[in-house]
Amino acid sequence: MNASAAGLLPDVSGHFGRYGGRFVPEALIAALDQLDAAYRHAMADEAFQAEFGRLLRDYAGVPSMLYRADRFSAAAGARIFLKREDLNHTGAHKVRNVLGQALLTKRMGKTRVIAETGAGQHGVATATAAALFDLECVVYMGEVDTERQALNVARMQMLGATVIPVKTGSRTLKDAINEALRDWVSSVDSTHYLLGTAAGPHPFPGMVRDFVRGIGVEARQQCLDQTGALPDAVAACVGGGSNAIGIFHAFVGDESVRLYGFEGGGEGVTTDRHSARFSGGSPGVLHGARTYVLQDEDGQTVESYSISAGLDYPSVGPEHAWLHETGRARYLPVTDAEAMDAFQLLCRTEGIIPAIESAHGLGGALAIAPALAEELGREPTIIVNLSGRGDKDVETAGSYFGILGK
């Protein structure tokens, strides 16, 4: 199991056990090979690492703080620490990944980036990096998401990106990915597909993880510095899975640290309106990798649902499928209602408005705290990855709580 922790996974062909790999048109293989080579070369290049580190520190505001949320903890019955990725430039953990990939884009001599976005966070982050690095930027976004995340569409446009609403299929994130892949097949010579999560074909899952794994490295050291011990549990929401794998990865080798991924439980996993791949899905192939997928008996993708656009995705990164299968991490659904309760609790106890995605991590922490306390016979320490801030979700939350009219 520690193969993952030691950075030995994925293997050379991009597999995490039976998950991962490359299920893409042959036309993309050369580009994936080029990306893999550029990434491996860059990771071994001190100048690249120094530049990436400088950008994270001076531009993105990394390392983010680890904050002990005392009032939220009192309500939770656990000592809750928040990894404040919401304070990064662009308001989410995703800036780490886009800066890494934008540097690689330059390194490969490409002049254009394309991206998919659900909530808009990755689109905004990509548009930001494209502006910084003088790259042409096209963002594909499901038409449904452009409507529920209109502010982020405006942000991307302000940053100089072209936003293309995707009108096919379910008109959400999965269809935006399809459209980005179609673009990439046609434009691969000049274009890098700046994939927004630790999913897709090899090398994306391992590469994106490596660009965001600083979240966990920092949190682990910060926790040791602040408490003198490792946490009992690490919690994160899981859409595609980059914030979760980013905070999990440094802890995978610490067997005493429980890893919890919280998926979009929507209206409940017994209904057909959720995004819980590990509760309601099964192994399958989607968007370039073998992983867990929400699918019907025929292998057709089933449309996912979550109040959070960023979790509304029927597939998940293959390393999470591996961590699930090996039992190293547990994946549990958190319903819209549980997430929104946690959202409100954090607002009222800590003065922090979280992204609704991150609120699923908070809601999950609240749910597991009592059993964990009982198991340990003491107050547990839980780090929650506060992966993004809630500015973009004010309208959704406002209408949910009846503060804003719909």
Partner 1 sequence: MSISEVFEKARAEGRAVSVGCMPAGFPTVEGSIAAMIAMAEAGIDVIEVELPYSDPVMDGPVIQRASEIALAGGVRTKDTLRAIEAVARTGVPVVLMTYWNPIERYGVDAFARDFAAAGGAGLVTPDLIPDEAQEWLAASDAHQLDRTFLVSPSSTDERLAMTVAHCRGFVYATAVMGVTGARETTSTAAPALVARVRAVSDIPVGVGLGVRDGAQAAEVGSFADGVIVGSALVRCVLDAPDEAAGLASLRALSADLARGVRAVKR
- For partner 1, the binding residues (CB under 8 A) are 13, 21-27, 29-31, 33, 168-169, 174-175, 178, 181-182, 185-189, 284-288, 293, 295, 297-301
Nearer to partner 1, 30 or 403 (CB): 30
Catalytic residue (one of 116, 263, 350, 357): 116
Nearer to partner 1, 26 or 225 (CB): 26
In sequence order, the 6+-apart residues with CB closer than 8 A to the CB of 262 are 235, 236, 237, 238, 331, 332, 333, 334, 360, 361, 363, 364
Min dist CB 297 to partner 1, Å, is 7
Q: What's phi and psi for 162, nearest 5 deg? A: -95, 125
Amino acid identity for residue 299 in this structure: G
256 flagged as catalytic:
no
Nearer to partner 1, 321 or 334 (CB): 321
Nearer to partner 1, 26 or 58 (CB): 26
Q: 47, 226 in Cβ contact below 8 A?
A: no
387 flagged as catalytic:
yes
Q: Strand 19-23 relative to strand 282-286: parallel, antiparallel, unpaired? A: unpaired
Min dist CB 169 to partner 1, Å, is 7
Min dist CB 88 to partner 1, Å, is 31
Residue 100 structure tokens: 């890494």
Angle between helices 29-43 and 46-55 (to 10 degrees): 90
Q: Give the DSSP H or E segment for 362.
A: helix 356-376
CB count within 10 Å of CB 367 equals 20
The SS3 of residue 114 is: strand
Catalytic residue (one of 242, 306, 358, 387): 387
Q: 329, 251 in Cβ contact below 8 A?
A: no
The SS3 of residue 94 is: helix
Min dist CB 15 to partner 1, Å, is 9
Q: Give the DSSP H or E segment for 84.
A: strand 79-84
Nearer to partner 1, 29 or 404 (CB): 29
Catalytic residue (one of 94, 110, 174, 392): 94
Min dist CB 291 to partner 1, Å, is 11
94 flagged as catalytic:
yes
Which active-site residues does the annotation give?
94, 116, 387
